[in-house]
Structure 1
């Protein structure tokens, strides 16, 4: 019985009259079936949210996952269905409420999410103005001259937007007929080769789903991710490609915006949550380069006494040092942040970063921090020592176990800025001008060599991201890879440093 109910509901056109439900299907049983399905989805969403919260507690993500819309939508849908079940309403009214349910859409959205990776946001609006520029939403909402488009799922950390639709073929054909398209569809058969949608294109004679595609294309251009517009995907769970000429005409108009379409006849099966949960979470460490470029902030964090053992808070410590000691008691930077990312990767650092670290060490470091600085770069009394000797002495000075295969020393390399900048995209010239000499040598070197730069410098990371998105990248160009640590550590300071 439950299986037949599910079949009736999955084939239900939500825009049609409630009489579409088979009269043989008991309303109470139908509602309970909907509640069970929604509860199953809600439980999965809660499992996912718990995993996100746990992950972000460890990583201190620069861009936290925006899961609240997803969670609230499923919670509200479940409450709506339970209200139907307990309202003691007559059968006709109950059927009306049943077909008002958004469960089919929520099922389609969550299924699409589970087939994706790196989930960043759900039901998120993106804004642009008449100039095609990014416009964030103000307190008063969408103001004059500002337009928005909705992405149901923001995936691949932000590089992909998904729009999920449970629109039926019957409804789409009805909308086409209202617009009078049914008699001129032959002229659109070659739409895959059409010019991409322009800002000045008139959308008024388009069905809603084509309008949505054009809006998302404009929003993607105005809201680039790492220098490029996000890739837009449409998931059409009740549309079959290649069956109806008029439907294919609409699909071609959507493709003409640059979007990719996934129709009912080419959507892969939905995997179980337990098999895909890890890839739904954002984990920047999965895309690290083989060799890592270590910036000065991470060099200092690696040698700081605060990172390696419990430190008393002395009355003459600066406020920043006091705060970091308190943070370390809860966060444990090395075992929870840096060591998992570094693991057994070989590491390099630019000559400029090494010199900056040594300058700070000379001025502020404790005796222990000075020794760690020498071990880290195999300098001073530790020149020519083997990796095994360096790691052994490093471990002896720390409460935290080094990862298997931990490699010392970090190799110091020349940044060769005069040779690096010509090898990079044009936007690098702007960054070279905006960044100071130290950060220019660190970040542009890593970019040119295709290395992931490990940094705790949030300000510079945001600056690079902003400039990159303002100027953009050409096809085939790659932006810099930056792994941003959620915490920083200062040297604990030798006696005499004041607040």
Structure 2
């Protein structure tokens, strides 16, 4: 009889493993289909552990005698499946399983890599062009209540530093988020903390504080805790926890009894619109114009792109001099810059800092052609390079000058007043941090970054304005230097070209 019992138990285990393998393969197929249709940043962080799970389960199925109950109970598939379920119920996804740096509380400068090593939080999903951070919790009601009561051992794994370690992406609520990131894990018991001290509330405060340090165009992302296996009012104590999370500012998603289930997007969208304004059709389509500030700070490179004759009258490579301009002419033929600028600048007020304007004026005086000078006068009607008395802002002139670009408003000039954190990038790092700065020749930021850049981008940072620029390395350089939450939109460059263009007419 023992033999029959063991055989029956083995069959049950094989059946359970086979079901796990089928679930794993279903998610992997769906991820592959999604990636083929539209590549999703970070999706590999979900598929890598899924592939590892699948291989392990296949090995068990090939050797049924080795299957043990603990293998089934210890699988991470429940969490990975919950993340996948959340993906299908969320709006436009920006990234999957991202680690975000937690800045030091003392305000000390720190490079991004150092900041991430020191302490980071894991976001299961980032959605809506960075507007939404989603933490997925796969626990069911019973397991979640047990964890809150301290009936499960907490090893502090939820804040693992490794992006590729799936143990770093789970739904535990570690109670050791110390600034140094090296706290010891331990059992959380109901006698060691009151309701207000439950680890999930500490975790919620960590996410909310971190979101404050990562603003999106100076507005704070909405933090969502998505409980994928817990329903409304299933347990009074658990519901009390959910209500407290909502009071703290967390957007709480719980399962409903409807089929199909209520989408996570339906839950967080009202909160997103309270913070970022009406999403509208432009917001739904991912238009960056809906995210940026109502007044835009223009870098020199952006005004040059607006003015350039090449932007308004494309030409062939043989009709323009200079290798750099020829490359831009080639790009302009397939990717016109004016629709890009129209999308970015439409409906906005435009400003420029004094140092940027001075640089622009010096360039215009040497390089600009006649039509480019007219566009410059249109943008800066009170400052003239020539003695022309034409009214450059009348409607007829505007149509001929700006071709397909909506005639922009006049650009106001502001005094340079860069923020402290931008100016501090020009200071040498502290001696103890020199190792982190060797890649920048001992500087906090790339060598290409100068006081001129600090004046332009730092003034916008001080005034909380989005900066528009063709300096495409700037956002990554600032991020690497540990400046979180900068607000920059970049576009391809277009240089002044009229004097170098030889377009045959007639």
- Using a 3 Å threshold, how does the CA distance of structure 1 residues 207 and 465 change in structure 2: closer, same or farther? farther
1:484 equivalenced with 2:489 (yes/no):
yes
- Using a 3 Å threshold, how does the CA distance of structure 1 residues 389 and 42 change in structure 2: closer, same or farther? same
1:390 equivalenced with 2:398 (yes/no):
yes
Give the alignment of 1:105-254 within 5 angstroms. Answer: 105-117=79-91, 119-127=93-101, 136-137=112-113, 142=117, 146-158=118-130, 160-175=132-147, 179=151, 204-206=186-188, 211=199, 214=202, 217-218=205-206, 221=209, 224-226=213-215, 232-240=223-231, 242-244=233-235, 247=238
- Using a 3 Å threshold, how does the CA distance of structure 1 residues 313 and 439 change in structure 2: closer, same or farther? farther
1:456 equivalenced with 2:464 (yes/no):
no
- Using a 3 Å threshold, how does the CA distance of structure 1 residues 288 and 407 change in structure 2: closer, same or farther? farther
Among 235, 238, 262, the alignment partner of 1:268 is: 262
Q: Is the 8 A contact 1:300 1:490 kept in 2?
A: yes
Give the alignment of 1:376-387 within 5 angstroms. Answer: 380=388, 382-387=390-395
- Using a 3 Å threshold, how does the CA distance of structure 1 residues 20 and 363 change in structure 2: closer, same or farther? farther
- 1:231 and 1:467 mapped to 2: Cα distance? 25
Deviation at 1:178, TM superposition (A): 5.7
Equivalent residue number for residue 443 of structure 2:
none
Q: Which secondary structure state, in structure 2, belongs to the residue aligned with residue 170 of structure 1? A: helix
Deviation at 1:225, TM superposition (A): 0.8
Give the alignment of 1:97-112 within 5 angstroms. Answer: 102-112=76-86
- 1:204 and 1:255 mapped to 2: Cα distance? 27
Aligned alpha-carbon RMSD (Å)? 5.6
- Using a 3 Å threshold, how does the CA distance of structure 1 residues 346 and 159 change in structure 2: closer, same or farther? closer
- Using a 3 Å threshold, how does the CA distance of structure 1 residues 69 and 198 change in structure 2: closer, same or farther? closer
Q: Is the 8 A contact 2:78 2:138 kept in 1?
A: yes
Equivalent residue number for residue 14 of structure 1:
none
Deviation at 1:300, TM superposition (A): 0.3
Deviation at 1:359, TM superposition (A): 2.8
- 2:284 and 2:72 mapped to 1: Cα distance? 31
- 2:353 and 2:13 mapped to 1: Cα distance? 78
Q: Which secondary structure state, in structure 1, belongs to the residue aligned with residue 230 of structure 2? A: coil
Q: Is the 8 A contact 1:35 1:78 kept in 2?
A: yes
- 1:39 and 1:386 mapped to 2: Cα distance? 60
Deviation at 1:70, TM superposition (A): 3.6
Give the alignment of 1:303-382 within 5 angstroms. Answer: 303-307=307-311, 308-312=313-317, 317=322, 321=325, 324-325=328-329, 327-328=331-332, 331-335=335-339, 337-343=340-346, 345=347, 348-350=350-352, 352=354, 356-374=359-377, 380=388, 382=390
Q: Is the 8 A contact 2:227 2:252 kept in 1?
A: yes
Q: Is the 8 A contact 2:87 2:93 kept in 1?
A: yes
Q: What whole-Å deviation, never above 9, does each CA across 1:269-296 have from its counterpart, x for those lacking one?
A: 3689xxx999788542222456655443
- 2:147 and 2:353 mapped to 1: Cα distance? 65
Q: Which secondary structure state, in structure 1, belongs to the residue aligned with residue 411 of structure 2? A: strand
- 1:147 and 1:438 mapped to 2: Cα distance? 29
Q: What whole-Å deviation, never above 9, does each CA across 1:446-483 have from its counterpart, x for those lacking one?
A: 975x865433345776788799957xxxxxxxx98x45
Q: Is the 8 A contact 1:120 1:157 kept in 2?
A: yes
Equivalent residue number for residue 68 of structure 1:
44
Q: What whole-Å deviation, never above 9, does each CA across 1:322-379 have from its counterpart, x for those lacking one?
A: 65455545543334x2233335x36534484555434312111244533443455567
Q: Is the 8 A contact 1:213 1:259 kept in 2?
A: no
- Using a 3 Å threshold, how does the CA distance of structure 1 residues 386 and 74 change in structure 2: closer, same or farther? farther
Deviation at 1:301, TM superposition (A): 0.9
Q: Is the 8 A contact 1:169 1:239 kept in 2?
A: yes
Equivalent residue number for residue 407 of structure 1:
407
- Using a 3 Å threshold, how does the CA distance of structure 1 residues 432 and 127 change in structure 2: closer, same or farther? closer
Q: What whole-Å deviation, never above 9, does each CA across 1:369-425 have from its counterpart, x for those lacking one?
A: 334434555674642553344223443xxxxxx25xx124x31335367xxx7xxxx
Q: Which secondary structure state, in structure 2, belongs to the residue aligned with residue 487 of structure 1? A: coil
Q: Is the 8 A contact 1:151 1:163 kept in 2?
A: yes
Gaps of 5+ in 1: 1-18, 53-64, 182-196, 396-401, 422-426, 471-478
Equivalent residue number for residue 35 of structure 2:
46
Equivalent residue number for residue 15 of structure 1:
none
Q: What whole-Å deviation, never above 9, does each CA across 1:22-42 have from its counterpart, x for those lacking one?
A: 969967984685367425632
Q: Is the 8 A contact 1:365 1:493 kept in 2?
A: yes
Structure 1 window deviating more from structure 2 (288-297 vs 197-206): it is 197-206
- 1:455 and 1:384 mapped to 2: Cα distance? 25
Deviation at 1:167, TM superposition (A): 1.4
| Alignment coverage as a number of residue pairs | 410
Equivalent residue number for residue 474 of structure 1:
none
Q: Is the 8 A contact 1:128 1:147 kept in 2?
A: yes
TM-score w.r.t. structure 2 length? 0.59
- 1:246 and 1:394 mapped to 2: Cα distance? 64
- 1:130 and 1:296 mapped to 2: Cα distance? 34
Equivalent residue number for residue 4 of structure 1:
none
- Using a 3 Å threshold, how does the CA distance of structure 1 residues 414 and 289 change in structure 2: closer, same or farther? same
Q: Is the 8 A contact 2:150 2:189 kept in 1?
A: no
Deviation at 1:88, TM superposition (A): 4.6
